Structure 1
Amino acid sequence: MIGKDGQYGAGPAMDHKISLNHVVMLVAGSASVVDADRLRDLTQQNPKLRKMLMHYEQFFLAQVQQTCACNAVHDVYSRTCKWLLRMQQLVGDDMPLTQEFLAQMIGVRRTSVTAVAGKLQDAGLISYSRGRVHILDIAKIQQRACECDAAVNSHYARIFDS
């Protein structure tokens, strides 16, 4: 998941490769698109820019690896909480989010997300209505999330604060 704190596709662009992925924008906002040849020229002229983009590629790989491990070992409830934490960091407490999309992001059936969303709502942690989630108690969501959110944040700090 990429937000206001990141970028996507610089690695392949800088190395004359093609992107093999499809990017979906979930939340409306601003994004910049840079022609691959122009980005390549800019990174050759500016080593600091190249270093920053490569750091983000390294972080993105760490995030993907953590997500794969998380999906293999953590339950749907704690993974949902982890995912809500990340979304809250990117867009705030109120987010457009359908159960179908959340299920796709977590890699489970929609019925599993429906059950978890109901538990979170009954516990007073979120309010959920027709494709909108509002975080009511971020501290309790953090308590219920798996450790993967903290691990990803730690990776980010280690890479970008160095």
Structure 2
Amino acid sequence: VFTVTSNSWEYTADGHALAYDAGAELIDMEFVQFHPTGMVWPPGVRGILVTEGVRGEGGILTNSEGKRFMFDYLPESTKNDYAATEDEAKEWVDATINHKKSEARRPPELSTRDNVARAIYVENKEGRGSPHGGVFLDISYQDSERVKKKLPSMYHQFKELADVDITTQKMEVGPTA
């Protein structure tokens, strides 16, 4: 049903199609939760999920222009829950990493899944996406040994499946059904 999915490759919505062809009404098909960050490149790994822990450890989402875009997509109703500037977001990340208290608010990349997924979708729709239909998730500015220790599965997943070293390179990610 969806181009990018975390389901196994053999799940092709045949059941939905058979039911529809038999006269069933498919309802509420738009109510699918999208995980905002799944791998989008190379094709063989498309849809493998990227843990939200990467964003929690300070991962920054940028578009093809290098702009950190999530500040532009915070809903008015929750905008005050998130950092207003990159400096404030960095202060929150640094305090969290060092187990310290801070008055700083969390980074906009930690907005709700639906909001982050929608923001990535809009960035692509408006021509600011990555070459393969996502955006970039960057944690390479963090200490490489710390990244390997805190995110070992993500480090190995990208290194082995996409030949991307997340301690030195950006990850290409996008919404995944």
TM-score (norm 2): 0.30
User: Which protein has the bigger helix share?
Assistant: 1
Q: If the length of structure 1 is used for normalisation, what is the TM-score?
A: 0.32
